[in-house]
Structure formats: structure tokens, C-alpha cells
Chains A and B, each alone.
Chain A
Amino acid sequence: MKFFKLILVTYLLCWAGPGLPEQVYHTKDSFLAMAFPGGQPNTGVVWLTSQRKLDAEELLGHSPSELRIRYWSLNGRSAWILDKIGKEQPITIGVIVEDAKVEGVEILVYRESRGGEVRHDFFKKQFEGAQLIDNIDLDRNIDGISGATLSVNAVTNVTKWALYLHKQILE
């Protein structure tokens, strides 16, 4: 009987079909097509000055190692593709900003072992329309997901950082 249980479980483990490579939910191109349905965006960079790196520590939780951040923009709308580690591995997150408000947040690639629920619409919708207050906080509370706190924090921090960077390109 125990042997049959083992066989059954082994079968269930193998049953789910052929493997797919990784948790890629959007490519860069598909995200940008979603962000700019009306045309081809321009590209630009924001140089990370020492002040901006200091601000990143508050907003993002760490100072980025890059010298500059690339972005895409068209008609006052900007799009950002940024990596942030939740617990172990970087999550690639896309943020679309217009009029200093979040137009949308997307998970492009998820690599963490737990917390993938952040990719679901019920979570991402909380960010729509969010603004940065005093260059530090979102204007709203983001309800978390139990057991996925670090991924939730990563998405929240990246969203704040993208709102801040959007302000930098307007100045």
C-alpha cells in the first residue's frame, strides 16, 4: 500500500507536463508596447548623482550600483524597468508613470521562490494613481500578501523609486 502511495505521488509530481523555462510574464518589448500603445518612445538616462543615490536608500532601500538609469518616454509618460531583490533573487518590475502618478505596474520576471502572487491584478491595481508624498511615501497604504512580505516591499519600493525618477526627468 505504501509502495502504491509513493508511485501515485511520483506520478503526480511528473504529471504537470513539459517544463517551461522561467517565470517571464512580460518581455521588455511587450511591456513597452503596453506602456506606449500610441507610438515609439524616446530613450533617455537619469544619472545617479550622489544626492539621488542617497534618496534611493530611503525610497528603494539600497543605493543602486549603476551610474545611470535608462528610461523610455513619450508625451509626458515614462516607463521604467527596474530590478529589486525581494529575499534572494531580483524581481524585474516595470512601472509606467504619467503626471507624477502611477499608470501601471507589471512584473516582467519573477525569480523568488515564494511570493509570486504580486504579479496578480488584485495586487497590482492598488498602485494605479499612486503618487509620491514628500519624495518619500506613497499617498496610500498598500495591503500586503501574507507570506510574500519581501516581494510586496520590493514592488512598493520600486514603484516609489520610479515616481521619484520621473520627477527627475521633468526638472
Chain B
Amino acid sequence: MELNRTAIAAAVAATVLANVANATQDEIQALKQQLEQQQAQLDALTDALESNRNSGSDGWWADTSFGGYAELHYNNINSQQSSKDTVELDLHRFVLFFGHRFNDKVSFFSELEVEHTVAGEGKNGEVEVEQAFIKYQYADNHSAKAGVFLVPVGILNEVHEPDTFYGVERNNVEKNIIPTTWWEGGVMASGEMFTGVSYDASVSSGLYLDAADGDFKVRDGRQKASEANATDMAYTARIVWNGMPGVQVGFTGQYNTDLLQGDVVGSVKDVDALLLETHVDLRKGPIGLRALYATWDIDSALDDIAAGASEQTGWYVEPSYKFSEKVGVFARYSQWDNQAADDDVDSNYEQMDVGINYWLVDTVALKADVQKTNEPGNTKEGFNLGIGWSF
């Protein structure tokens, strides 16, 4: 009798336990299904939320880009001839970039610049459109541009955002010999021929020296695509080797068919000119080195405007060292001469710069440097402070 009771109790307990186990399994299954449904709902909600967040980027503005850069300079330069002292503060450049991508092949890019803050009659500044071109990507790694573009020459002419170079002011060789910033209107083909070897070839407006007014320096010949005299064009070709990290070697040649654009000044006419430029730009680990040589071989007729002007030459070498991502120091020795064809003319400039860049972030740089310049009949010494940024 006792045994029967035990057996009945065990059977009841087993039945209860089995029912409990079944109930737990059912609950777990139900919970699992609920969890899956909730996960699906969460995914759907997140998809919808992300879709809504991105819906504002569906318009034309999604393919329109905007950027810019600016640089503020303080110069304190004392000169042997005190009339040439410079103590000034200047928002040297304020630049806005606008670009638009029409489709995968066709895009637009522009650079609008205000120099020295205020432009207008009797003011120091200028408003300039330095770039405005349509780019057509006609094959993989090959494209053509039409419009106003920067001449493919040197290190700074195309990449001159202030956070990308040392020194408060741009170097004087690229300014006076190349002459940076230099833009022309025309057409240009660019691309990559082999791994790390790229080319550019352009036909564009050329330089125009107002020789009747005594202009002879190539920098004075920039027409800035402003109703530019296009009687005689310029032809430019560049090859750049970027075949290993941190190393760039570039060569540019430009032929101007006539720097006078058909003008005849006395017996001076048909002044053709050939620019040859080469540079290296090295950055291996913390060590950097920039070196550039540029020379103009101009028809000797220009010597009748200014003695020795048929050769205009300059070079610089700029070693640098980065202590960290934030801090780098540099030294630069430069030499340039816009009347180099005549040794009897005292026209040679040389300049030494030593300074430091401190990058607050990648594209915001505080700069300081000291400089000494020996120029014809004068010596200048002083320091420069600056801040430059781009975005």
C-alpha cells in the first residue's frame, strides 16, 4: 500500500515536472520568437532612421563640395634702407573652393580668392578666380580639363594650402621665377602613364609682358585669365614620378611663343621663352627635403628692355624635421635672379629662412620663422608669424 502511494506520488511529480518542462520550453520558444521579432523591428527602425538621416543628401547638393583656406601673417622686417622696413599684419589670403560632380565623368572645380582683405579702386587687395574648370574623366586614370586652371609646375603652384608648407610666406623662388600662383585659361590633359608616373599637357594663354612700360620679370607677365591677350599661346608639359612613398620628382617645360603677344617695342618683337623646372619633394619618416630649380631661357631681344632679362633663374633647398605629428622645423636657402644673363647687373637675391610649424590639427598650422635677405644694394632681417588653415 505504502509502495503504491510512493509510486503514485512519483508519477504525479513526474507529470508535473514534465508539464513544467514543457511549459518552460514553450516559453523559451515564445521568448525566442519575440526576441527575433523585436530584432527585426529594431533593424527595420534603424534602417528607416538611417534612411531618413540620409534623405537630405539625395539632392544636387550631395554632389557639391565646399572648402577653403586662409592665412594671416605678421611681418616684422628691418631693412638697411629703413624706407623698406615692413611691419604689418595682413590676412594675406582668404579662399573658397566650390566643386560639383555632375556624374562619374564630368565635374567642376573652382577657387575664389580675396587677397589682402579689401579689394577695389585704391585698395590693397584683389578678388581673383584662380581656378574654374570642367574636368572630363574620359578613361580610367586619364582626364581632360577646360577652363581656368593652375599651371602644372613646381611644388607650391598647385598645392599651396598654408598647412602644407613651411614658412609664413611662400618661398620667393616659386614666387618670382615660376611665378606662383600662376593660372591660365585653356585645355589640359592629365593622367597616369605607368604606376607612379603621371603626366600633364596643356595649351593655354601665355604670359604677356608690357615691354613698352618696362616690364621684363616673368611675374609681371601673368594675365590671370582676365581678358588675356591670346595672340600667342603657351604649351606646357609635365612628368611627375611618385613611385615610392614619400618621394616625388617632377619636371616641367613650358614654351611661350611670344611674351609680347605680338607687340613691337622698338626693335624688340617675337620674344619666345622656354621655362624648365625640376624639383624633388622627399618625406621619409620625420625627415623632409624640398629642392627646386627653375630657369627661363628667353629670346635675347628682351635684354634690350632690361639688361640680362633673357635668363631668369632661381633655386632653393629646404631640409626639415618633424619631431612629432604636431611640431616640425625647417631651414631654407634660396637664390633667384631675374636678370641672370648679365653678370654685370647687380640683380641677385639670396635668402635664408629658419622656422617652426605647429599643427593644432592636421590642417591648422601656427608658423614662425626668421629670415635674412641679401638683395641688390640692401639687406633685410626680421621675423614672421602666421596662422594658416584649410578645410
Identify the A interface with B (CB < 8 A). Answer: 2, 5-6, 9-10, 12-14, 16-23, 61, 65-68, 87-89, 111, 113, 116-117, 120, 122-123, 126, 141-149, 153
What does DSSP make chain B's interface, helix, strand, loop or mixed? strand
List which B300-331 residues lie within 8 A (CB) of chain A. none
Chain A CB within 8 A of B109 CB:
yes
A interface majority secondary structure: loop
Q: Which residues of B contact A (CB under 8 A)?
A: 46, 49-50, 53-54, 65, 67, 97, 99, 101, 104-105, 107, 109, 135, 137-142, 144, 155, 158-159, 164, 187, 189, 191-192, 195-196, 201, 203, 233, 235, 240, 242-248, 257, 281, 283-286, 362
Q: Are A122 and B243 in contact (CB under 8 A)?
A: yes
Chain A residues with Cβ below 8 Å from B67 are 87-88
Distance to closest chain A CB from B271 (angstroms): 16
Contact partner of A145 among B65, B138, B248, CB < 8 A?
A: B248
Q: Is the CB of B139 within 8 A of A20?
A: yes
In-complex Cβ contact of A113 among B53, B104, B135 (8 A): B135
Are B196 and A143 in contact, with the CB atoms below 8 A? Answer: no
Check B104 against A21 for contact (C-beta < 8 Å): yes
29 pairs of residues in contact across A and B, judged by CB atoms under 8 Å: A5-B203, A6-B203, A9-B189, A9-B201, A12-B189, A12-B201, A20-B140, A21-B104, A21-B105, A22-B137, A23-B141, A67-B50, A68-B46, A88-B67, A88-B97, A88-B109, A111-B101, A117-B196, A122-B195, A122-B196, A143-B285, A144-B246, A145-B242, A146-B247, A146-B248, A146-B283, A147-B240, A147-B242, A147-B248
Q: How many A-B residue pairs have CB under 8 A?
A: 106
In the assembled complex, which residues on chain B have CB atoms less than 8 Å from the CB atom of A2? 233, 257
Q: Given A87-B67, A149-B164: A122 and B244 within 8 A (CB)?
A: yes
How far does the alpha carbon of A10 sit from the alpha carbon of B275 in the complex, in Å? 23
Complex contact B362–A153 (CB within 8 A): yes
CA A148 – CA B198 in complex, angstroms?
Answer: 13
* Minimum-distance CB pairs A-B, first 4: A143-B246, A143-B245, A146-B248, A22-B104
Closest B residue by C-beta to A126: B245
Q: Write the nearest CB–CB distance from B252 to chain A, whole angstroms.
A: 13
Alpha-carbon separation in the docked complex, A102 to B150 (Å): 38
- A146 CA to B93 CA in the complex, in Å? 23
Q: Which residues on A sit within 8 Å (CB–CB) of B242?
A: 117, 145-148
CB distance from A92 to the nearest CB of B (A): 13
- Chain B contacts for A68, CB-based, 8 A: 46
Q: A16-B142, A20-B139 are in contact. List 20 more A-B contacts (CB 8 A).
A: A9-B201, A9-B203, A12-B201, A13-B138, A13-B144, A13-B189, A14-B138, A22-B105, A22-B137, A65-B54, A88-B109, A89-B65, A122-B245, A123-B245, A141-B286, A143-B284, A143-B285, A145-B248, A147-B240, A149-B164
**Does A89 lie within 8 Å of B101, measured CB to CB?**
yes
Are A147 and B101 in contact, with the CB atoms below 8 A? no
